[in-house]
Structure 1
């Protein structure tokens, strides 16, 4: 597969809070294997010995690759083209409205956070967001009263901020794994569904945090429960995204594939970039002097042993799973199956803010209004702290990290549908204003696909990738206007399912072109670049990456794969404003034999 390019710049008019200092070591208790779930995961019982309910559940778990290798190998037999099952393309020129948002935000209902729901919603609006998800930590207190107590605040925020989509969710302690955002569409049952999910499937609540097949099965069972709530009409929709997936090394490749393959497409992706982006600002610059994203950990008892030490750090502020060309994210995409990336604030307490929690996150302390977190499920409101707080690692929602979602119409459900479809790109620090990606056959250009979509073409066709970037038109919230220095085109072969579901590399992905975007601003604020893949024979995907060019290094798999990738962030000295990147989700291309198209 070869290619060539053209560039045409042209002007246009929890109870289980984050442990930042130490590896996240899960408790030793495992969920009990009683009831239907227990039957399903007990492999000493043959299929014919199971009850109908347990047999059905075992089928779900096998399909997710969590019980035995048999069905895990089934994906490897599928043709690469068959794996890409999304629609064949949009009509030429279809337009989307791009809504910026954040799906990972904490409030005073989290044991390690402090702000009111209204504080976070107002900040999100102030910093340019259109949608947001309140995701307080799951755990015993939250499972008992947290969802119910937060809901009136969320509903009030919706009434007071009609231009902001305010979702209610929670940060799930994924059994046997890390954290994840879970949220539902607004409706009469949003509290009941979230409560039932948390009480039945949260790793902390169920004592199911340690790594074991039974606990991994419980995670898939939780996603299956959410799928059943959607299919039954109890909630209009539900989504899950894995949060800070490489931070502690406990999200193994086979677990991620299991979540992805669970029924209903509830689990749709992961944080490509974690929150806590201010944490790496050095103490000399009046910062916390910690690890960017609080990715400063090392392997623990429940970490996947195959992950290298560099996976526990961020790279240009992005998670190693996303930032490594030919790495884990690409290995998932090479199967031809959807798995998308996002970026968010993980906002708990804000760098440079003046307010403090009056009891300092002491869950048993009595606040000024008599509230005790462990009793009441929330802290007293924040108070003036008497000075600027510089030991914190977070930014307000929208201040630094943005997830842009392309919708055809407004509303909660269309936003969730667009997230599931993968029409998403992310950026840090306002690096660019907009990105538009169109992929089409040169021979038959009437239809095209954009981010998250797939395009069917005839074998032998030339395929054009057209990228239009609108450069930053104004200063960001650090008061400077960032400059896009380079735009990278990354292409990967779709090779189909993997025999080993712990695979986290793929050799068929590399940076195929890098466009120099310096000087574009002098010729206008918008630039269009084109890259043509010649004579397509096999299925592939294409994704884009951009940078301000201030920090780069050769990628982990060598210069032939990625000559100028993001650099490993230095613990205690990682200025986020001097290292800006943006990423798009992929577009898939599936060639069909001549005569079929």
Structure 2
């Protein structure tokens, strides 16, 4: 029997009728965990961890031969100090092994995962290298009619979650366009006996994949919506709602703080720079889905959906021999900070912690520690963290507490790629407390299901250094009280930028990032890097407050 992940909200069976074959609507676990109940004792093993959920190696067809698995892991853990990472190569054809050696015949990536990636990770950890790190294998799927979906699927061995190569192979056969002849003939025969067809071309096929995960790995899989607005017309908010309705403990994260930040078009958002494509830009490196106050993410939170923002590197390579640039290494620029009640519990605890939403994400180490809580002024022990819900009487006053600090310096280099520190000390200019109302969840057959805004969302309070005090531990501490008269959520964002900075902010709101077009490669690379470190942001996940 598979161990259950924490279930955040009830699974709805109200899904489109096109999802007919692979969907099973089972019950979800109602068990609480320490991650969602601060009144339970936290062990000495608990604490903040950092990681990346979107990383490529040479086994991806658009990476470079220098991006070996060993190199990526060394950068992630030795150079940049991450605690965990997912390796998520493209679910396409792979022509290299882990070391960049050309294979005699390309293989479907899932077979490469099985033959090269998973064994090498096991061998490294068995040797003692990265033995204290959490590493797992997922993949990035070219979702029919949409964009990319990060998929992680696990089997259970001795009570522990392990990356499932067998599931990856079956998924690749069912949901990609790779020819039957590329797969092992015995595998194809087995799959054809189970399924009447493959599902690899329509939006309904994309939902079949979500229902397949829910039916076969309901408690041991999860997905991430990667770079959601990179290409126009690939997703609607109804797509996000549908996937979350189908499987809320599988679809619970959107990559709002996207990778590929070293590209001339920040994040690789290359659609033409016209007004019609404003929703398909990044704002301070952040996808419009998350960056726009009152936009898509706020519309989802405004229904009480537990859908969280994450930041990733999307690391393929940094700068190649031809002068192209792509993204930073894992942990170099983008980090997710996730609270784990037991940091040594591996993937099992990590996934529960990701689901719980007690996390924040940051670019350029603008901050390296933060606590964000909301508490009842009449009950000091009633304190809720990010991802949790505080219940109070209508008309109550709540205390909002924000504690954060920044490192002495970040990973800014000059020249970029040289390994020479530019000795930049990140400094937060201001922190925004954003609030929005929470109402009923939109019904799939209603017009509200297509509404991608939350008109109630606003910046409730903007805090600058004049509003915070530094405590004995070096944290900047902000205290704020607010009256609660309706169901709401509170979330944070912060930046090193001033309120009105030419081409970067307007009245505190981030502006769309411009493309850097300098022809000379080294000059362009340094300009890109300077742009990125001049425009740093962090975003928290929300705390919900509901009234009786």
TM superposition score normalised by structure 1: 0.70
1:270 match: 254
Report the Cα offset of residue 61 of structure 1: 9.6
Measured in 1, the distance between the counterparts of 2:352 and 2:405 equals 25
Report the Cα offset of residue 270 of structure 1: 0.9
Change (3 A) 1:93 1:154: closer
1:470-509 to structure 2, matched below 5 A, reads 470-478=405-413, 479-498=423-442, 499=446, 500-509=448-457
Change (3 A) 1:146 1:264: farther
1:544 aligns with 2:492: yes
Match of 1:409 among 342, 354, 373: 342
Residue by residue over 1:471-516, the C-alpha shift from the partner in whole angstroms, topping out at 9 and shown as x without a partner, is: 2233434331111110110000002223332211110100010110
Report the Cα offset of residue 219 of structure 1: 2.2
Partner secondary structure for residue 408 of structure 2: coil
Change (3 A) 1:521 1:481: farther
2:542 match: 586
Residue by residue over 1:406-454, the C-alpha shift from the partner in whole angstroms, topping out at 9 and shown as x without a partner, is: 1100221111101011111000111011010111111222121111111
Report the Cα offset of residue 339 of structure 1: 0.7
Measured in 1, the distance between the counterparts of 2:497 and 2:91 equals 39
Residue by residue over 1:217-236, the C-alpha shift from the partner in whole angstroms, topping out at 9 and shown as x without a partner, is: 322222222223334xxxx6
1:449 match: 384
Which region of structure 1 is more displaced relative to structure 2, 316-325 or 181-190?
A: 181-190
2:104 match: none
Question: Is contact 1:315-1:568 (8 Å) kept?
Answer: yes
RMSD: 3.2
Match of 1:64 among 15, 35, 46: 15
Measured in 2, the distance between the counterparts of 1:591 and 1:61 equals 24
2:245 match: 261
Report the Cα offset of residue 135 of structure 1: 0.5
1:197-208 to structure 2, matched below 5 A, reads 197-202=171-176
Question: Is contact 2:377-2:399 (8 Å) kept?
Answer: yes
1:195 match: 169
Question: Is contact 2:149-2:223 (8 Å) kept?
Answer: yes
Measured in 2, the distance between the counterparts of 1:99 and 1:87 equals 14
Change (3 A) 1:408 1:144: closer
Report the Cα offset of residue 263 of structure 1: 2.7
1:50 match: none
Measured in 2, the distance between the counterparts of 1:444 and 1:251 equals 43
1:177 match: 146
Task: Give ranges in structure 1 of 5+ residues lacking alignment.
Answer: 1-59, 69-85, 280-289, 301-306, 357-384, 593-597
Measured in 1, the distance between the counterparts of 2:339 and 2:36 equals 18
Match of 1:335 among 303, 318, 327: 303
1:127 match: 80
Change (3 A) 1:331 1:254: same
1:151 aligns with 2:128: no
Which region of structure 1 is more displaced relative to structure 2, 446-455 or 544-553?
A: 544-553
1:292 match: 266
2:510 match: 566
1:526 match: 475
Match of 1:396 among 329, 339, 342: 329
1:279-428 to structure 2, matched below 5 A, reads 279=263, 290-298=264-272, 308-351=276-319, 390-410=323-343, 411-428=346-363
Question: Is contact 1:248-1:299 (8 Å) kept?
Answer: no
Measured in 2, the distance between the counterparts of 1:520 and 1:457 equals 26
Question: Is contact 1:168-1:186 (8 Å) kept?
Answer: no
Question: Is contact 1:240-1:269 (8 Å) kept?
Answer: yes
Measured in 2, the distance between the counterparts of 1:551 and 1:145 equals 50
Partner secondary structure for residue 469 of structure 1: strand
Residue by residue over 1:322-365, the C-alpha shift from the partner in whole angstroms, topping out at 9 and shown as x without a partner, is: 000000000000001111111111011113xxxx6xxxxxxxxx
1:241 match: 224
Question: Is contact 2:173-2:198 (8 Å) kept?
Answer: no
- Highest RCO, 1 vs 2 (Cα 8 Å, sep ≥ 6): 1
Measured in 1, the distance between the counterparts of 2:235 and 2:492 equals 25
Change (3 A) 1:207 1:511: farther
Question: Is contact 2:175-2:198 (8 Å) kept?
Answer: no
1:28 match: none
